[in-house]
Structure 1
Amino acid sequence: MYFLKTQVSFDSAHFLYGYEGKCSNIHGHRWTIEVTVKNAFLQRNGQQKGMIMDFSDLKKSLQLIADHYDHALIYEKNTLKSDTMECLKRDGFRLIELPFRPTAENLSRHFFTILKERGFRPHNVTVYETPDNCAMYEEG
């Protein structure tokens, strides 16, 4: 089996609604998304001969995901009061609502699914909240 790995980073804020601890407050991270794709064989012809795929194709798709989440407040649906939402929107803040709690674990699965839907064969996706703390998702 052959593996290819790349990563991109973005900055955004989140909070964990219902969590008892510091992470219940809005705080930011320099998130890093690391993806590993796999294939049992390499391309046999053309420009990509001897490759799983061109690194740049994978990197571009991953960068599009990161760009979407960059410099936004990522939050779980129904966890901000309507007047809070109205104020944030009126003041021009970029908000990204998700149907799940925005933990590194859930984001790793979310990004895995997006990549799979875009035609990639991810082996796993790792999401780092800090250089030392990460969560990984791979299908079982």
Structure 2
Amino acid sequence: MAGVFEIYVKTHFSAAHALTGYDGDCSRIHGHNWMVEVSIQCRKLDDVGIGIDFKDVKDAVEEITQGLDHCMLNDHPAFQSVNPTSENVAMFLYKQLGSHLNNEYTKVSRVKVFEAPGAGAAYWEE
């Protein structure tokens, strides 16, 4: 079995949301300092010994989260038909990052999103 490397980057953004249909405080507009952890599987290293450059991953994450930062997530096009829950934010980031970073040797393996320390969701596809 061939070995697989997994690298990750962590970042954050600030945004508000409200959960439609939720019976509780989260149905009202409130904000979070969202933490994001992106993991990338690498099946091959380049001549330097790098599977994927951290800078490339950070740049892709920054490009996508920049559109979420300091906004009302419910107003974002990605969340017009689904609640901007941690689960749905993680899935959105996973799919967006995959279209930027996936290739023959690298694949976004998991995206974790935290609304608060100790509370979040992860998304991946098998």
TM-score range, shorter chain: 0.7 to 0.9
From 17, 25, 32, give the equivalent of 2:35: 32
CA distance in 1, matches of 2:41, 2:113: 18
CA contact (8 A) 2:113 2:121 kept: yes
- The equivalent residue for 1:106 is 88
Secondary structure, in 3 states, of the residue corresponding to 1:118? helix
| 2:76 partner amino acid | I
**Larger Rg, first or second structure (1 or 2):** 1
Measured after TM superposition, the shift of residue 119 of structure 1 is 2.8
Most deviating of 96-105 and 6-15: 96-105
- The equivalent residue for 1:89 is none
Where does the alignment leave 5 or more consecutive residues of structure 1 unmatched? 76-94
CA contact (8 A) 1:104 1:129 kept: yes
Measured after TM superposition, the shift of residue 38 of structure 1 is 0.3
List aligned pairs for 1:62-81, cutoff 5 A.
62-75=61-74
- The equivalent residue for 1:2 is 5
CA distance in 1, matches of 2:64, 2:114: 15
1:9-58 residue CA offsets vs partner (Å, 9 max, x unmatched):
01010000010001000000000111000022211x3xxx2011110110
**Percentage of pairs with the same residue:** 32
Measured after TM superposition, the shift of residue 67 of structure 1 is 1.2
| 1:109 partner amino acid | M
1:68-113 residue CA offsets vs partner (Å, 9 max, x unmatched):
10111111xxxxxxxxxxxxxxxxxxx4242311000111111000
| 1:115 partner amino acid | L
Where does the alignment leave 5 or more consecutive residues of structure 2 unmatched? none
Q: Which runs of 4+ in 1 moved over 2 A?
A: none
Secondary structure, in 3 states, of the residue corresponding to 1:102? coil
Count of aligned pairs: 117
Most deviating of 65-74 and 13-22: 65-74
- The equivalent residue for 1:54 is 53
